[in-house]
Structure 1
Amino acid sequence: MAAITSAMVKELRERTAAGMMDCKKALMATDGDMEKAIEWLREKGLAQAAKKASRIAAEGVVAQYVAPCGCTGVIVEVNCETDFVAKTDNFKNFANNVAKHIAKANPATVEEMMEQKFVDDETKTISDLISDATVAIGEKISVRRFARYKTEGVVSTYIHMGGKVGVLVEVACDEAHKDNEAVKEFAHDLALQIAAAKPEAVRREEVDSSKLEKEKEILRAQALNEGKPEKIVDKMVEGRIEKYYKEVCLIDQAFVKDGDKNIKAYMADVAKATGAELDIVRFTRFERGEGIEKRQDNLAEEIAKMAQA
């Protein structure tokens, strides 16, 4: 029997989109013959995913997982082609399993995760699971991105509108209060706030400096175009930047549940009431399909193509 190399397995995977273990089995069954291995996979129904590889997967869900300890949290965007599939239990369960795997296996990248053995079934890699799901569900499925936080404090997640938006937030907290219900509620409220208000940074010093300078340039130009005297423009820009901070900095945003206080004041209230030492460390907000260009099908063009075939 011909030696089956990792390069051969890689090539077969690239050509068929089948799982790594399935590719290895196919090559072993066909004595290393690449073309016969492709036929073998097609006969087994394992190369069907390849036909779907060029499709655009812009629907899907953002799924979440928080470990029982409450110290590790994950959000992950898993895409499919249609909203119909995104709403099915099979797809949602698949996305939830991927989130749980990321929490337990701690991959650094999506690419690394694809090669990892699934934590609940070590006979399959995540790539194998995706190929299996693609065949079973009938649409292209892909894992686009994820965020994973591990902390000594508290992590919380929030999923909005059945997976359209997902948020992961980390709150630093002293050991004695990390299981306090008011502290947990504060963390959850932060996740809800981030989903609704779309902050770009936790605090002012974390706002991207180049973006801030660009904003100042725009505001200055607006003031001058309004005919404001040059001598008061800088003061006007300063006031408008203050408003900008209140829009993009989480700590300065008005609390969505109580517009009379900002998030900084809300955190101070919780700290005072519980005696906890609190700080907002970081957050990640994913919106399903953001940045993915959806294909716009033209019915007339499709009919014309079919007529020419």
Structure 2
Amino acid sequence: MAEITAAAVKDLRERSGAGMMDCKKALTETGGDMEAAVDWLRTKGLATAAKKSGRTAAEGLVGVAVEGLKGAAVEVNSETDFVSKNDQFQDFVRTVTQVALTTGDDVETLKSAAYPGGEGSVADKLTANVATIGENQQLRRAKTVAVSQGAVVSYVHNAVSPGMGKIGVLVALEGDAPKDAIEALGKQLAMHIAAASPLALHEEGLDEAMVERERAIAAEKAAESGKPANIIEKMVEGAVAKFRKESALVSQLFVMDNKTKISDVVAKAAKDAGGSIALVDYVRFQLGEGIQKETSDFAAEVAAASGIGAKEPASAQ
């Protein structure tokens, strides 16, 4: 069996919201498999997370930019938060986001694009930044959205500089309604997306593997109820339907009133504006989501509190 380290317990606790000892037991029961441990906690009703972890576990910045009817978002990672405050790093993120408006979503294409100012490619500039700043940096991902008419609206939650922060959102609204009405709606929807973290625009766009994972968790929880098979089946289908509804943007409840579906918010805005508005796409980048980074000092604290043997280090002994 894999050794259960203090760092693993810390990671699971942050991802699930469960207690430290419950996390230790979950990892023990699942042989140290992090995803299986999250599911184990949820089947026991001990985890607060309703979907895969979106925790921030890397530093750097997310950049967003809009030009005309097109928008781009990029994520550039660094080792420490200190670098994200560096003017040179911020200028790189700002510039690369603008370049992405032309190159599109493919990161390798973006890396090979010419860096404005005659300094070689984007990749060359990034390498130079690593050398001069003295810390590893990575251009992780990029995404663009566009409309033929209407507006693409950007939003950065807790921006550290214009167009840059920890969470960046783009909303693509197609329509012939007045631009100011479309942009006002876009800002509201972008704030909702930043807060509600939808997994897809429509239910049909949800990752079916993720849906099946939810189904398996719901089935195990329902089975523990001891109810008849036909009731259990309805419980499972109800849980899956709820997951689909809460994970798709258009069927989520608007965070500003917690009662109106996003699709109805868009329809009302179009009616009030006297024109057409359709929500056709969105992007939500949260810095570091899906990346894991150990912090050994907290691991030492967990080890001291729980008696778990951590190999991390002198600081954990």
Deviation digits for residues 169-213 of structure 1 (CA, Å, limit 9, x no counterpart): 222223xx2x52121121222221111111111112222233323
Match of 1:111 among 108, 112, 117: 108
Deviation at 1:122, TM superposition (A): 3.4
Give the structure 1 partner of residue 198 of structure 2. 199
Give the structure 2 partner of residue 181 of structure 1. 180
Within 5 Å, give how 1:1-309 maps onto structure 2.
58-67=58-67, 69=68, 71-103=69-101, 105-118=102-115, 120-153=116-149, 154-162=151-159, 163-174=165-176, 177=177, 179-296=178-295, 301=313
Q: Secondary structure at the match of 2:120?
A: strand
Compared CA separation, residues 292 and 215, structure 1 to 2 (3 A): closer
Amino acid at match of 1:223: A
Compared CA separation, residues 115 and 204, structure 1 to 2 (3 A): closer
Amino acid at match of 1:134: V
Amino acid at match of 2:128: D
More deviation, 153-162/143-152: 153-162
Taking the aligned partners of 1:107 and 1:183, their CA distance within structure 2 comes to: 24
Deviation at 1:66, TM superposition (A): 0.8
Deviation at 1:266, TM superposition (A): 0.6
What is the aligned length? Answer: 240
Compared CA separation, residues 215 and 292, structure 1 to 2 (3 A): closer
Q: Secondary structure at the match of 1:146?
A: strand
Deviation at 1:297, TM superposition (A): 5.2
Taking the aligned partners of 2:205 and 2:105, their CA distance within structure 1 comes to: 23
Structure 1: segments with no counterpart, 5+ residues? 1-56, 304-309
Taking the aligned partners of 1:149 and 1:227, their CA distance within structure 2 comes to: 48
Structure 2: segments with no counterpart, 5+ residues? 1-56, 160-164, 301-311
Deviation at 1:302, TM superposition (A): 7.5
Q: Note if contact 2:175-2:278 (Cα within 8 Å) is conserved in structure 1.
A: yes
Taking the aligned partners of 2:76 and 2:212, their CA distance within structure 1 comes to: 35
Taking the aligned partners of 1:284 and 1:278, their CA distance within structure 2 comes to: 18
Give the structure 2 partner of residue 27 of structure 1. none
- Give the TM-score of the pair, scaled to structure 1: 0.70
Q: Secondary structure at the match of 1:114?
A: helix
Compared CA separation, residues 134 and 260, structure 1 to 2 (3 A): same
Structure having the higher strand fraction is 1
| Percent identity of equivalent pairs | 35
Deviation at 1:220, TM superposition (A): 2.7
Taking the aligned partners of 1:89 and 1:123, their CA distance within structure 2 comes to: 17
Taking the aligned partners of 1:228 and 1:302, their CA distance within structure 2 comes to: 52
Q: Note if contact 2:174-2:277 (Cα within 8 Å) is conserved in structure 1.
A: yes
Taking the aligned partners of 2:314 and 2:108, their CA distance within structure 1 comes to: 35
Taking the aligned partners of 1:266 and 1:236, their CA distance within structure 2 comes to: 30
Taking the aligned partners of 1:113 and 1:218, their CA distance within structure 2 comes to: 39
Compared CA separation, residues 123 and 83, structure 1 to 2 (3 A): closer
Amino acid at match of 1:61: L
Q: Note if contact 1:246-1:254 (Cα within 8 Å) is conserved in structure 2.
A: no
Deviation at 1:246, TM superposition (A): 2.9
Deviation at 1:233, TM superposition (A): 2.2
Q: CA RMSD, aligned part only?
A: 2.4
Taking the aligned partners of 2:267 and 2:105, their CA distance within structure 1 comes to: 34
More relative contact order, 1 or 2 (CA 8 Å, 6+ apart): 2
Deviation at 1:78, TM superposition (A): 0.8
Q: Secondary structure at the match of 2:174?
A: strand
Q: Note if contact 1:160-1:166 (Cα within 8 Å) is conserved in structure 2.
A: yes
Taking the aligned partners of 2:227 and 2:66, their CA distance within structure 1 comes to: 52
Give the structure 2 partner of residue 16 of structure 1. none
More deviation, 230-239/136-145: 230-239
More deviation, 73-82/278-287: 278-287
Say which one has the larger Rg: 1
Compared CA separation, residues 215 and 74, structure 1 to 2 (3 A): same
